[in-house]
Amino acid sequence: MKVAVLRERDFGESRVAATPETVGKLIALGADVAVESGAGALSRFPDDQYAAAGAAVVPSAAEALRDADILLCVRRPSVAALTGIRPGALVIGTLDPYGHEADIAALAQAGVTAVAMEFMPRITRAQVMDILSSQANLAGYQAVIEAAAVFERAMPMMMTAAGTVRPAKAFVMGAGVAGLQAIATAKRLGAVVSATDVRAAAGEQVESLGAKFIMTDALKDASGTGGYARELTPDEQAAQAELVAGHIAKQDMVITTALIPGRPAPKLVTRAMVESMAPGSVIVDLAGERGGNVELTVPDQVITHQGVSIIGYTNLAGRIPTTASQLYARNLLSFLDTLIDKKARTLAIDWEDELLKATVLTRDGAVVHPNLAAAAALVSTPTPAAPAPVPTPAATPAPKAPTRKSVSKAPAAPDGVLAAAAPPPKASRPKRAPAQPNPAVGETPPKAAAPRKRAAAKKPAAPEEGN
C-alpha cells in the first residue's frame, strides 16, 4: 500500500496534504509513503522532517506516483500529472467538481478513483474528516486579521490620557463556521460585532459569542439541507438587502461568508452599499473563488473603491499554511483510517460505506456520483450534435437545376433560420457571384424573372412598410 504526496501545482496554493505527523501515523498503519521533494516547503515542513518520520523523499512527482495506490492532494490534479499512478488508485483531496465536470470526466477516463473530501456528509462520525469546517474555521480567523492589517486604526476601545479611541464596528454576513470564527476573532480584538444570517437558528450562536444578531422580520427562516441556507426568493432578497443597506453604512469592517455549494456566490453587497461606507473601511469577501458576495470584488486582489478597501483573496486558509496543513492532513488521515484493515495492514475498502457513497466521484472509468453523472455524460458525448445544423435540403436542388427555379424557392422559406442558412450553398456557385450580396433574410434575390411573375406581389409590400 503506497501513498504519494506531491507538491501542489496550483498558483498560490501553499498547503500540503500530509505533514510529518500524519506521515508517521500512515506508516504505522502499514503504508509506504513517498513525498515529492519540496512538497511541504511552503507550509514550513522541510524534507528532512518527512524523512525523519519515515517517508521516502523523492526528487520528482513521477517517482512519487510510480505504482501508488493512494494520492493525497489539496487541489484537484490534472490528468497529465498522474503519470505512473496505479490504475484504480484513490485520488483524495478537494476536487471542486462543480463547474469542472470535464476535468472530473477526464479523471474517470484516466482510470483513477476520485474522492472529493468536500462532499463528506455532515454526520457525527465524519466530523473529524470535515475539511470544509477545518479550513473555513481558519479562513474566518484570517479574514479578521487581514481586515485589521488594512484598517490602519486600532480595533478596541482605548481610554488614554490623550482621549478615548472608539472601538471598530465589524459586521459579519453569514454565521456558518467561517462567520462564527470571524465573530469570535473580532470580539477578541475588541471590536463591536454584529452579524446576520438567513437561518434563524444561527441567532443563538451569534449571541452566544457576544455579537448582536440582525435579521429582517420579512425573513422567518431560510434553512436548507445539510446545514446550509437555501436560495432566497426575490421578495426575501429585497428585504434582506434593505436591512443590510441601512446597517452597512455605519460599519468599519464587513466580512461576507455566504456560499451555496455548486452555485455562484450570492451578491449581498452592491456598489451603492460600498459607496455608503466611510473612507478607510474594509470589506473582506470570503466567497471570491465563486464570484464573490460583493459586486466589486476582484478575485485574489485588494482594491480600493472610493476609499473602501475590498479584499478578495480566494484562499485565506492558505495564508496560514502551517496550521491549515496540519488540520487538513489530519482530516485526510482520519478518512484513510476507515479504509485500512489494521490487522492485514492493507486497503480494505467497503464501497457501500456511506462516507464513500457520498464522496466518490469516479470509479472503474466512469463518473459515478449522482450529482455529476448526467453532466459528465453530456461532456463525454458532444459529437452527435455537430452534424445537425448542416442545411442539406438547400444543397439538394443545386446540381444542374436552372437558376430561376432555385431562386423561386428562396421566398418560399419564411423561417428566419432557413433563410439565414440558404446563402452558403449559393456562395458555391461559380457563375452567380453578382447574386451573392442580394439574398439577405428579408430580400428577394431574382433580377428579371421575379418582377414579371410578381407584378401583383407589390401589393403586400405596402403592409411591410407600415410595420
Report yes or no: 121 and 355 within 8 Å, Cβ to Cβ: yes
Report yes or no: 288 and 300 within 8 Å, Cβ to Cβ: yes
Residue 219's pLDDT is what? 63
Residue 71's pLDDT is what? 98
More confident residue, 110 or 423: 110
At 217-266, the pLDDT tens digits run: 656 665 555 555 666 677 777 877 888 898 999 999 999 998 877 788 98
Topology given in CATH for the domain delimited by 136-315: Rossmann fold (3.40.50)
Topology given in CATH for the domain delimited by 2-119+320-380: Rossmann fold (3.40.50)
More confident residue, 410 or 20: 20
Q: In what side-by-side order are the strands of the sheet with 253-256?
A: 212-214, 192-196, 169-173, 253-256, 282-285, 308-311, 302-305
What is the pTM assigned to this prediction?
0.78
Nearest partner of 230 among 205, 208, 198, 192, judged by Cα: 198
CB neighbourhood size of 383 (10 A): 7
Residue 216's pLDDT is what? 72
Residue 39's Cβ-side half-sphere holds a number of Cα atoms within 13 Å equal to: 34
Collapse the DSSP code of 259 into the 3-class scheme (helix H, G, I; strand E, B; otherwise coil) and give the result: coil
Percent of the chain with pLDDT over 90: 67
Q: Which three cell numbers stand for residue 296?
A: 466589486
Residue 445's pLDDT is what? 43
Lowest mean pLDDT among 23-27, 290-294, 340-344, 393-397: 393-397
User: Cα–Cα distance between 342 and 265 in angstroms, integer?
Assistant: 42
Residue 237's pLDDT is what? 75
User: Cα–Cα distance between 247 and 229 in angstroms, integer?
Assistant: 21
More confident residue, 292 or 417: 292
User: Cα–Cα distance between 253 and 147 in angstroms, integer?
Assistant: 7
Lowest mean pLDDT among 104-108, 252-256, 463-467: 463-467
At 8-51, the pLDDT tens digits run: 999 889 999 999 999 999 999 999 999 999 999 999 999 999 99
Cross-strand pairs, 32: 2
Q: Which residues are catalytic?
A: 122, 127, 130, 133, 228
At 329-383, the pLDDT tens digits run: 999 999 999 999 999 999 999 999 999 999 999 999 999 999 898 776 666 555 4
How far is CA 14 from its chain centroid? Answer: 19
Mean pLDDT of the chain: 83
Measure CA of the first residue to CA of the last residue in the chain; give whole Å.
77
At 54-88, the pLDDT tens digits run: 999 999 999 999 999 999 999 999 999 998 999 99
